[in-house]
Structures are given as structure tokens and as C-alpha cells.
């Protein structure tokens, strides 16, 4: 009998599910709005609907599916299969794995989405050739996942590798977590957008204002990048500053993990040529020589599929390790 695996990428606005074969190749996929505003039961109903849709399209029975992997924002408890809470979803101690398994009869595994993405890049992306790596996503926020000796290191309760909340300047700006000077408060897409709006409001960037039709509130990291590519000095400096502080974070990762590879992904990396050179130079300035000579920094390879492939990697992790 053929063997299949399911991956489900759960987000605040969309649910993306894929059915993969025993090699991790996606056969079918389905997408549906999360509809988080309609509550917990509706979200789970939509998750199940996408699973049933991919199985129907591929003409695969549930009993042919070995495992379902779910990548979800946290905080969560992967061992217990519980999502503790989330800013974008109406979760509160939701026993998600139990509910999905009861509804479908398919073995289900749950992972933090950044950890799932790290597994995806390890097994299907830029990290295939290494046993030790750190994946960092630079997006709305900054998150991470660490692979140590081919095993995901998630910490005691799945909170390891919160790279975005390492404090790199105690006198820095307030972060959403409540601390001051976190990496996320300097280098995330959210922080870049905030600084861009401040620059436009201060009259430092006509280009950003024009791109936003003179609506300061509409200026975000994407508009800041567009302005930077058009030569806007303020926008370019915002990305340079984000790169400098990212480099401090990367240097700390090098010194802490002594890993073979750091993989950078997330939406902000679409503008990597505006800040990555600065980030790597800063990393090289502060990283210890013995660790620095061993590490390579690479951009993620899975692109927009990283959430889905990460979830599939969660489902297939045991098989992948055996076959490697």
C-alpha cells in the first residue's frame, strides 16, 4: 500500500494544506480562509475541509495517510498537542491534536511554525547538506528554529530559539513582548515600517509619501523597500540600520550555536540586497573567529511554500531521518 503524508500550514488569515508522497513531493494542495473571527470551531472545521479536499482530489483514503503535520503560530505545547494562545487566533488552551485526530482518525503532530520551517529547510531546502543549522525568519516578527545533530531543538516547552527576542540594545525601542531593544524591534518588517512612517512624518522622504498616496498610515516595509530601490536616502538608511542590528543578532547566534549554517527566510528577505551585506559584515565583526570560520549564511530555498513544506517535514520527520 502506498504511503502518504499531510502537511497543514495554519495562519491567522489562511489555511494551506498539502498531500505529499513518501518522498515529500506535494501531490495536491488546498487553501481556505482561516475565518478566525468566527471562532475556534469554525477554524477547525476549515482545517478539516482542506484536508478532506486534498484527499478527495488525489483519491486517497484516510487510512493511507501515515501522519498529519501542523505548523502553527504559538505559544503552544507540541508534546501535549495544545495551542496555548495566539494573538491572531481565538485560541485558549485548545487541544488541537486531540480534536483533529478524533475527527479524522489520522495521527497528528503539532509544531511551532518557526520550528516547522526549520525542519522544512533542513530536509527539503537550503540545509539538506548539514547536520547543524539555525533557521531565522524575518517577517512581521522575527522567529527561529535550531537543528542540532539533525534533531530539532525546541527547548523544554517549545520556546527555544526565540532569536527575535534576544535583547541587543537594552536602551532600544519597545518590543511587542514588553522588553526594550529586542532584535525584532529593530529588524522585523513591522519595525522597518514603523521607522518608515516616522521618517515620512518628519518630512525625510517624499518618495515614500508619494508611493503611499500621501497616506502616512499606509507606509510599510514594502513601500520602504520600493523607495529605497528608487534611491530614497531615508529608506536606504532604514534598511541599513535594520541590517546592522540583524548582524548583531546573527553574531550572537554564531557565538551561541557554533553551527554550520544560518538560513534566512521570511518576507523581508525579498529585499535582502538592501541590508544583507551590512548584516553579514556586522556579524563578522562580532562573531568569534573559531565559530565564524565554520558558518555559512544562506537564503532560504523554499520560498512561499516554506510553511507547507515545514508542516510536511513535521509529518515525515522520523522517515526522513531514517532514510537520510
- Pair 156, 24 in one domain: no
Q: Which residues touch 28 (CB under 8 Å, ≥6 apart)?
A: 18, 19, 54, 57, 58
pLDDT tier at 154 (50, 70, 90 boundaries)? confident
Q: For the beta carbon of residue 39, count every other beta carbon within 10 angstroms.
A: 12
Q: What is the pLDDT of residue 1?
A: 67
- Pair 81, 143 in one domain: no
- The yes-or-no verdict on residue 160 having pLDDT over 90 is no
Q: What is the DSSP string of 109-125?
A: EEEEHHHHHHHHHHHHS
Q: What is the pLDDT of residue 66?
A: 95
Q: What is the pLDDT of residue 251?
A: 98
- Pair 145, 26 in one domain: no
Q: What is the DSSP string of 192-226?
A: HHHHHHHHHHTT--HHHHHHTTT-GGG--HHHHHH
- Pair 111, 132 in one domain: no
Residues 182-198 pLDDT 10s: 999 999 999 999 999 99
Residues 226-260 pLDDT 10s: 999 999 999 999 999 999 999 999 999 999 999 99
| Alpha carbons 202 and 294: distance in angstroms, whole number | 44
Return the CATH number at 67: 3.30.420.40
| Alpha carbons 273 and 239: distance in angstroms, whole number | 10
C-alpha grid cell, residue 58: 488525489
Q: Which residues touch 303 (CB under 8 Å, ≥6 apart)?
A: none
pLDDT tier at 315 (50, 70, 90 boundaries)? very high
| Alpha carbons 192 and 204: distance in angstroms, whole number | 15
**Total of domains in the chain:** 2
Q: What is the pLDDT of residue 85?
A: 85
- Pair 296, 319 in one domain: no
pLDDT tier at 267 (50, 70, 90 boundaries)? very high
- Pair 269, 318 in one domain: no
Do the Cβ atoms of 226 and 218 come closer than 8 Å? Answer: no
Instruction: At 304, give phi and psi (nearest 5°).
Output: -70, -10
C-alpha grid cell, residue 163: 532569536
- Pair 113, 236 in one domain: no
Instruction: At 204, give phi and psi (nearest 5°).
Output: -95, -5
- Read off the pLDDT of each residue in 297-320 and give the average, rounded to a whole number: 93
Q: What is the pLDDT of residue 74?
A: 80
Q: What is the pLDDT of residue 142?
A: 93
In sequence order, what are the beta bridge partners of 10?
Answer: 15
* Edge-to-edge strands, sheet with 89-94: 76-77, 82-86, 89-94
Q: What is the pLDDT of residue 81?
A: 94
Do the Cβ atoms of 244 and 115 come closer than 8 Å? Answer: no
| Alpha carbons 161 and 165: distance in angstroms, whole number | 9
- Pair 83, 203 in one domain: no
- Pair 168, 244 in one domain: yes
pLDDT tier at 324 (50, 70, 90 boundaries)? low
- Read off the pLDDT of each residue in 85-110 and give the average, rounded to a whole number: 92
Q: Which residues touch 198 (CB under 8 Å, ≥6 apart)?
A: none
DSSP assignment, residue 174? B
- Pair 19, 80 in one domain: yes
| Alpha carbons 77 and 31: distance in angstroms, whole number | 25
- Pair 294, 197 in one domain: yes
Q: What is the pLDDT of residue 9?
A: 95
Residue 229 structural domain = 127-300
- The yes-or-no verdict on residue 158 having pLDDT over 90 is no
Average per-residue pLDDT for the chain: 94
- Pair 310, 280 in one domain: no
Amino acid at each position: 500500500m502506498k504511503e502518504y503524508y499531510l502537511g497543514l500550514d495554519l495562519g491567522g488569515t489562511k489555511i494551506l494544506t498539502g498531500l505529499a508522497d513518501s518522498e515529500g513531493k506535494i501531490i495536491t494542495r488546498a487553501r481556505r480562509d482561516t475565518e478566525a473571527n468566527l471562532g475556534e470551531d469554525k477554524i477547525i472545521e476549515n482545517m478539516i475541509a482542506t484536508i478532506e479536499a486534498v484527499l478527495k482530489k488525489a483519491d486517497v483514503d484516510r487510512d493511507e495517510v501515515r501522519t498529519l503535520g501542523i505548523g502553527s503560530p504559538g505559544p503552544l505545547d507540541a508534546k501535549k498537542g495544545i495551542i496555548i494562545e495566539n494573538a491572531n487566533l481565538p485560541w485558549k488552551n485548545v487541544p488541537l491534536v486531540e480534536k483533529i485526530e478524533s475527527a479524522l482518525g489520522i495521527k497528528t503532530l503539532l509544531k511551532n511554525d518557526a520550528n516547522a520551517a526549520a525542519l522544512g529547510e533542513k530536509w527539503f531546502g537550503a540545509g539538506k547538506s548539514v547536520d547543524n543549522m539555525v533557521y531565522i525568519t524575518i517577517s512581521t516578527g522575527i522567529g527561529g528554529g535550531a537543528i542540532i545533530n539533525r534533531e530539532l531543538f525546541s527547548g523544554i516547552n517549545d520556546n527555544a530559539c526565540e532569536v527575535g527576542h534576544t535583547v541587543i540594545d537594552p536602551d532600544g525601542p519597545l518590543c511587542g513582548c514588553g522588553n526594550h531593544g529586542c532584535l525584532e524591534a529593530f529588524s522585523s518588517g513591522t519595525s522597518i515600517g514603523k521607522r518608515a512612517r516616522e521618517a515620512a512624518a518628519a518630512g525625510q522622504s517624499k518618495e515614500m509619501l508619494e508611493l503611499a498616496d500621501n497616506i502616512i498610515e499606509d507606509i510599510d516595509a514594502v513601500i520602504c523597500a520600493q523607495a529605497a530601490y528608487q534611491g530614497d536616502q531615508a529608506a536606504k538608511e532604514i534598511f541599513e540600520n535594520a541590517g546592522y542590528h540583524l548582524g548583531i543578532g546573527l553574531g550572537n547566534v554564531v557565538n551561541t550555536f557554533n553551527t554550520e549554517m544560518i538560513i534566512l527566510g521570511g518576507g523581508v528577505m525579498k529585499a535582502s540586497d538592501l541590508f544583507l551585506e551590512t548584516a553579514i559584515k556586522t556579524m563578522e565583526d562580532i562573531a568569534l573567529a573559531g565559530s565564524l570560520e565554520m558558518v555559512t549564511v544562506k537564503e532560504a530555498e523554499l520560498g512561499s511554500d516554506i510553511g507547507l513544506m515545514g508542516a510536511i517535514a513535521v509529518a515525515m520527520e522520523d522517515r526522513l531521518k531514517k532514510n537520510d
